[in-house]
Amino acid sequence: MSISEHVTISMKPVPTGPVTAKKDWTSDQEVRWCPGCGDYGILLAVQTLMPELEISPENTVFVSGIGCSSRFPYYMDTYGIHSIHGRAPAIATGIAVARPDLDVWVITGDGDALSIGGNHLIHALRRNVNLTILLFNNRIYGLTKGQYSPTSEVGKVTKSTPMGSIDQPFNPLSVALGAEATFVARTHDLDRKHMMETFRAAHAHRGASFVEIFQNCNVFNDDAFDPVTGRKNRLEMMIDLHHGEPIRFGDEGHAGVVMGTDGRLQIVEVADVGVDALLIHDAHRDDSSLAFALARLSNEAAQATGSWAPTPFGVFRDVDRPDYGSMVAAQLAAAAAAKRTSKSEASTGRPENGRDDLRALLRSAGTWQVG
Amino acid sequence: MTDTVERKSPAESISRVVVRFAGDSGDGMQLTGDRFTSSSAIFGNDLSTLPDYPAEIRAPAGTVNGVSSFQVHISDHDITTPGDAPNVLIVMNPAALMADIGRLEQGGLLIVNRDSFVERDLTKVGYLTNPLEDGSLSNYRVVEVPMTSLTIQATVPLGVKNRDAERSKNFFALGMISWLFSRPREPTWEWIESKFRDELIRSANTAAFNAGYHFGETTELFDHAYQVESANMRAGEYTNISGNIALAWGLIAAGQLAELPVFLGSYPITPASDILHELSKNKHFGVRTVQAEDEIAAAGMALGAAFAGHLGITTTSGPGVALKSETISLAVSLELPMLLIDIQRGGPSTGLPTKTEAADLNIAMFGRHAEAPLPIVAAYSPSHCFHAAIEAARIALKYKTPVILLSDGYIANGSEPWLLPDVDTLPDIRVPFTTEFNHIAPDGSAEFWPYLRDAETLARPWAIPGTPGLMHRVGGLEKQDGSGDIDYTPENHERMVHLRAAKIAGIAKDIPQVTIVGDDDADICILGWGSTWAAIDAAVQRSRRRGMKVAWVHLTHLSPLPANLGEVLKRFPKVIVPELNLGQLCRIVRAEFLVDARPISKVQGLPFTAVELETALDNATGPGWATDFTMGASR
């Protein structure tokens, strides 16, 4: 008998069940964003939401590029890659296509997704790769200390545009819709409940989900969205979209959106046109033109007046289309069936040893015998 | 289709012949050459091929820029090169004559499609007089055949429109050459049957082929046929293989041997695209291929797949390597297994997309920011591409590192008979995924440290998503040795830079040492890598037959270099390094080992010929060594 008492430490981890708590999703890393950054609110919303999704941290991967928001994966106790500027959608595509069993999230920013990584974003969206893409839009380059971004407004004075930006900005939702995205939504960093509901819907969508988050950079672009999302302005400036319901907003819903005779969306007083004249939001319509018009609503007005106009939030578009990884897997399965390969490969894993198949492959172009 | 006409005289037996087919890009010369090669392979000859075609899909018809050629060397003995000067040249038009006549050996057989030697075609390439009539071809045995009109005569009765009929003239040429070299006709008949769906096209091509064959037999233009007996090759089962197909099969094999699904991210680029095509055809092996939006995404997808537990691969050529550089650096930092396959071509920039060069050694070795070493494997022949792919995957998986595999346009598109390997003797390259905690935290709990290294290989554990308890984050920021947490401290960074370098350097213990081919006591050693193998092999054999003492070392691993390479090279007063670049390996061995190595350079978009390297060996042993640093073979 041993006299000293040994504690045996099991080196075999235990799988996480469907029941998790926020702490199960929170890594031990110190969060290093600036005090007051909008990113904290988004992180909290995601960490609070995850247990409600009944998924497990070990089957979840967060992939990011470069930028302030892209530090996000370090703070989630999941699998994660903090990758290269702009390339997160491509790397995440590799993960999602290789492993359709995983929950893959992409965390990106306006510079990361729309400037250096624009190509990867649009192609991930058109392929409908099963990714949940959260774009933190703060309309500025924060990590490099304050240059204008592809979403900065014309005239923006920054370190690199001392006389004001002359670049026409992107509307992220227009880009996503133009890229044939199947799920497009917008939320903002000051409303955790709205964020959670939007992220929940994005996660539930199979395929590529794109969420623009208005996010405040209190150091380099403070209050950029205050005219819309600020507590005093929200009521009259935010348009909450709900599928199947008339699009109306403002104090007691006094304002609404109608389709004008010129084919453009217009903001009207409900009292002037009547409730029946209001546009009914249809996020599931295959044709994306209404979603596009809604995405442009504030743009058009802002360009005309030079200031913010009422801006829609919520789910603009949510339609079904087979996701890329599933289609790749289906082709593999069909090819295997056609070759009468009875041993099929588990989704996570290693193929059966196919040395006979390999022998056949080496002979597939015809052979001849010597000796 | 019995042969009713008796041969004029028995076929003359010859030991080897080099045949070159040259025509317009639209004339089907690659197909003709490929079919001649296949029937020779089935007949049992040893062979080596060199396709040579323009970058334009259809350059203006009848111009020198649009000439597409295919050279094949068939032999009754072991050969490795597509031959230096062709013995037989078949030209379909004046442009092909102008482009390739300089290659034909003096006294060689020139077979000309006379129908194309009319004023319009002649003036298009700038012939002021008809070379068939002005005596300029008097050094060759010229055989003029009206191939176009004979083809039309053979096919129009079948119902083929006049306009389409001449398109079968490459089969007429193939038939004629098949007779001339006593090739069996059955393989070509069978191939035409299986290849063409349209019955009319099928019968037209067969008719043209037969017409060409009978033309050779009956005409007075050729004295007799030739016979290249089958080579005395090692017994076994052979297939005719090109480097790109061998490489694709090697990747599939690597997946099977590692018991990992293969994932290819690739963007189309010449001359690498055939690997994407071949892997896309083999989905039943569980091979996933994604044609990415660009080169960067292709590499990113492969890296993502590697993180997720697949054998991640990206294939490209030079310009694509440049674009993937940042991703490969990330892979170095993440320490994940991944393959970057570079089918080199002439550069810089778009350069010579369809021509060969081996000038990407520098970018493979050094083309990343900061200290980012990685292993490099180089294939030396079409069939070696199969084994090189498995070896690259073995190293990547064992050491959790990106590996660059270099091939080039010459071996990628060239083909040779391949004695099929016994699948059961291929190496076991499985590596286990990590599924358990590997570290005890100060509080006594078990945890996972993603950068806790294996003491022997210095590789880190590979724990893939889906593994309970081992959730971890990796990224491009510097990581703390062991825990993998972000760490910017000076001492840690220096330690990590040295650890990453030591891991790659340590692979030298795990790759074969170099061996000397030829004479240990020679004064001169020829050091090669990659596709120069074939020409070096022939040159060394010829020089030694002439009594010269020559040693030859050929590298398949360029990073790290084999452990004994420096010691071996130092035994020789003279080292020459033939490369299809301006001396990239040469500079490395000079720097590494302080040996008097001299570059033998050729950058013409073509491989070395054996004669060029034989001459280089002669020059290096002559007085030129003292005065001429660059012993250029092509000057």
Mean pLDDT rounded to a whole number for chain A: 92
Is B471 close to A351, i.e. CB distance below 8 A? Answer: no
Considering only CB atoms, A351 lies closest to which of B255, B303, B477, namely B255
Distance from CA of A76 to the nearest CA of B (A): 9
Considering only CB atoms, B249 lies closest to which of A29, A84, A362, namely A362
Distances (CA, A) of A80 to A58, A66, B307, B471: 10, 13, 9, 8
pLDDT in tens, A178-196: 999 999 999 999 999 999 9
Query: Which residue in A26, A84, A352 has the most chain B C-beta atoms within 10 A of its own C-beta, making it the best mutation to test that interface?
Result: A84
Which chain B residues have a beta carbon less than 8 Å from that of A90? 265, 292-293, 296-298, 300-301, 304
Distance from CA of B356 to the nearest CA of A (A): 25
Which chain A residues have a beta carbon less than 8 Å from that of B487? none
Query: Which residue in A24, A63, A83, A123 has the most chain B C-beta atoms within 10 A of its own C-beta, making it the best mutation to test that interface?
Result: A83
Is A358 close to B256, i.e. CB distance below 8 A? Answer: yes
In 3D space, the residue among B377, B320, B328 whose CA is nearest the CA of residue B344 turns out to be B320
Is B309 close to A98, i.e. CB distance below 8 A? Answer: yes
B633 DSSP β-pair partners: none
Extract the tokens encoding A35.
């005090």
Check pLDDT > 60 for residue A256: yes
Q: Annotate B513-523 with b (16+ C-beta within 10 A) or e (fewer).
A: ebebbbbeebe
Distance from CA of A53 to the nearest CA of B (A): 17
Nearest CA in chain B to A363: B239
Which chain B residues have a beta carbon less than 8 Å from that of A10? 446
Is B473 close to A87, i.e. CB distance below 8 A? Answer: no
Extract the tokens encoding B14.
């010859």
| Contact by Cβ (8 Å): B578, B539 | no
Is A58 close to B312, i.e. CB distance below 8 A? Answer: no
3-state DSSP assignment of residue A26: strand
Model confidence, pTM: 0.91
3-class secondary structure per residue, B180-230: HCCCCCHHHHHHHHHHCCCHHHHHHHHHHHHHHHHHHHHCCCCCCCEEECC
Distance from CA of A34 to the nearest CA of B (A): 17
Query: Which residue in A131, A347, A350, A357 has the most chain B C-beta atoms within 10 A of its own C-beta, making it the best mutation to test that interface?
Result: A350
pLDDT of residue B2: 39
Check pLDDT > 80 for residue A302: no
Considering only CB atoms, B308 lies closest to which of A80, A95, A369, namely A95
Is B309 close to A369, i.e. CB distance below 8 A? Answer: no
Q: Annotate A72-81 with b (16+ C-beta within 10 A) or e (fewer).
A: bbbbbbbbbb
Distance from CA of B528 to the nearest CA of A (A): 29
Query: Which residue in A5, A33, A368 has the most chain B C-beta atoms within 10 A of its own C-beta, making it the best mutation to test that interface?
Result: A368
Nearest CA in chain A to B474: A81
How many Å apart are CA B234 and CA B231, to the nearest integer? 9
Distance from CA of A198 to the nearest CA of B (A): 25
Is B304 close to A368, i.e. CB distance below 8 A? Answer: no
Computed from CA positions of residues B489, B490, B496, B499, in that sequence, does the dihedral angle turn out positive or negative? negative
Query: Which residue in B237, B293, B416, B425 has the most chain A C-beta atoms within 10 A of its own C-beta, making it the best mutation to test that interface?
Result: B293
pLDDT of residue A349: 44
Q: Look at B209 and A7; give whichever has higher pLDDT.
A: B209
Query: In chain B, which stretches have pLDDT less than 50?
Result: 1-7, 633-635
Q: Who contacts A63 (Cβ-Cβ below 8 Å, separation ≥6)?
A: A73, A80, A81, A83, A88, A91, A92, A95, A104, A105, A106, A107, B304
Is A95 close to B304, i.e. CB distance below 8 A? Answer: yes
Check pLDDT > 60 for residue A345: no
B341 DSSP β-pair partners: B315, B405
Is A341 close to B234, i.e. CB distance below 8 A? Answer: no
Nearest CA in chain A to B463: A79
Q: Where residue A348 falls among pLDDT bands split at 50, 70, 90?
A: very low
pLDDT of residue A301: 64
Nearest CA in chain A to B187: A366
How many Å apart are CA B483 and CA B473, to the nearest integer? 10
Which chain B residues have a beta carbon less than 8 Å from that of A15? 468-469
Which chain A residues have a beta carbon less than 8 Å from that of B326? 84, 87
pLDDT in tens, A211-239: 999 999 999 999 999 999 999 999 999 99
Considering only CB atoms, B285 lies closest to which of A92, A354, A363, namely A354
How many Å apart are CA B479 and CA B472, to the nearest integer? 12
| Contact by Cβ (8 Å): B578, B528 | yes
Which chain A residues have a beta carbon less than 8 Å from that of B445? 9
Query: Which residue in B473, B478, B488 has the most chain A C-beta atoms within 10 A of its own C-beta, making it the best mutation to test that interface?
Result: B473
Q: Mind giving me the DSSP string for B534-599?
A: HHHHHHHHHHHHTT---EEEEESEEESPPTTHHHHHTT-SEEEEEESSSSHHHHHHHHHH---EEE
Distance from CA of A181 to the nearest CA of B (A): 16
Nearest CA in chain B to A358: B253
Which chain A residues have a beta carbon less than 8 Å from that of B470? 13, 58
pLDDT of residue A300: 67
ipTM of the complex: 0.94
Please state which of the ranges A3-12, A292-301, B298-307, B468-477 shows the lowest mean pLDDT.
A3-12
Check pLDDT > 90 for residue A299: no
Which chain A residues have a beta carbon less than 8 Å from that of B261? 98, 345, 349-351
How many Å apart are CA B94 and CA B112, to the nearest integer? 9
